[in-house]
Amino acid sequence: MRSLISVSDLKREEIEEILRLAKGFKEGKGEKISASVVLFFAEPSTRTRLSFEKSARELGMETYLVSSSESSTVKGESFYDTLKTFEGLGFDYVVFRVPFVLFPYTEIADSLNLRLINAGDGTHQHPSQGLIDLFTLTEHFGDIKGLNILYVGDIKHSRVFRSGAPLFKMFGAKVSVCGPSTLIPRDIKVFGIEKVFSSVDEGIEWADVVIWLRLQKERQKENYIPSESSYFKRFGLTPERYEKVKLYMHPGPVNRNVDISYDLLYTEKSLIQKQVENGIPVRKAIYKFLWT
């Protein structure tokens, strides 16, 4: 039984299959799936939770929502034993978001008679968001080979970067990063990135697309930046930078006037709303891919 915990679980042809399925769903094609899904969210979410729930319902699936505060994890049950309970109750899929890195994830996934879908595990992976971002850029450009893609912001804590960057590279794009040195991981070279820009203005000049990321204050254990206003001036999408940037994205949620100027979320250069919209067909495609 297949699970999707990390983008590294997928071969290129499988990713192409997911993109093809997503395109089909967007065009109104695709069959129903007679199955049940548990949505277990131990961290806040708006778009991921709702799009997994809505896409499951549109596919004809039964959905069951459990938040961690209502589950027996508050009484000390481990996450693994919670998954075993879902297995015992006969569910087909579990979509989960947890604040920790699921490790060793292949052993956990292989030991369960469930299709696990990782909707974000700590700073590790958020594969459906990476696939949405790849789908959105493929839809916009046709082919992303040779495209220069720049991630800006809190790279250190970003599971979105760790999911998107390998996918973009697999499809021939070049990936660079930019952010405060305190928020660039020490092992950044392992991601095969082109450049680490300390100047966002130089990065914007290099990039065909910029992906701004949120400062993940909930994961920051130290003071990584002097202040949000100085961060915004140095790394944010300001009205001056808007004139130079070609195209931009943000996985959401956005902190206005920290990541992106309050009036620049929904503009002709922004793919942010498109990313949200594509959450439905891409997440339907993930359900379908894991079902067959």
The least distance separating ligand CP from the CB of residue 11, rounded to whole angstroms, comes to 24
Nearer to ligand CP, 48 or 82 (CB): 48
Nearer to ligand CP, 48 or 73 (CB): 48
Nearer to ligand CP, 197 or 287 (CB): 287
Give the span between the Cα atoms of 178 and 203, in whole angstroms. 7
Contact between 251 and ligand CP by CB under 6 A: the answer reads yes
Of all residues in this chain, which one has the CB nearest to ligand CP in the complex?
48
The least distance separating ligand CP from the CB of residue 34, rounded to whole angstroms, comes to 27
| Positions in 129-158 near ligand CP (CB under 6 A) | 129
Residue 147 CA to its chain's centroid (Å): 20
Nearer to ligand CP, 47 or 140 (CB): 47
Closest CA to 143 of 163, 172, 165, 167: 172
The least distance separating ligand CP from the CB of residue 79, rounded to whole angstroms, comes to 19
Give the span between the Cα atoms of 149 and 147, in whole angstroms. 6
Going by their DSSP bridges, the two strands 209-212 and 93-98 should be labelled as unpaired
Contacts with ligand CP, 7-26, as mask; x by CB under 6 A: --------------------
Nearer to ligand CP, 97 or 288 (CB): 97
The kind and range of the H/E element at 121 are strand 115-121
Q: What share of the chain is helix, strand, coil (3-state, %, to 5)?
A: 45, 15, 40
What residues contact 37, with CB distance under 8 A and at least 6 apart? 52, 56, 61, 62, 63, 64, 91, 92, 93, 94, 95, 287
Nearer to ligand CP, 127 or 251 (CB): 251
Give the span between the Cα atoms of 240 and 10, in whole angstroms. 40
Nearer to ligand CP, 80 or 100 (CB): 100
Among 153, 180, 252, 281, binds ligand CP (CB under 6 A): 252
The kind and range of the H/E element at 114 are none
Contact between 67 and ligand CP by CB under 6 A: the answer reads no
The least distance separating ligand CP from the CB of residue 216, rounded to whole angstroms, comes to 10
Contact between 256 and ligand CP by CB under 6 A: the answer reads no
| Positions in 27-46 near ligand CP (CB under 6 A) | 45-46
The least distance separating ligand CP from the CB of residue 47, rounded to whole angstroms, comes to 4
Is residue 257 within 8 A of residue 214, CB to CB? The reply is no
* Number of residues this chain uses to bind ligand CP (CB under 6 A): 9
Contacts with ligand CP, 99-128, as mask; x by CB under 6 A: ---------------------x--------
Contact between 274 and ligand CP by CB under 6 A: the answer reads no
Give the span between the Cα atoms of 211 and 150, in whole angstroms. 6
The kind and range of the H/E element at 211 are strand 209-212
The alpha helices in the chain, defined as continuous H runs, are 12-26, 47-58, 79-88, 105-110, 127-141, 159-170, 200-206, 228-235, 239-244, 272-291
| Positions in 171-230 near ligand CP (CB under 6 A) | none
Binding site for ligand CP (CB under 6 A): 45-48, 120, 129, 251-253
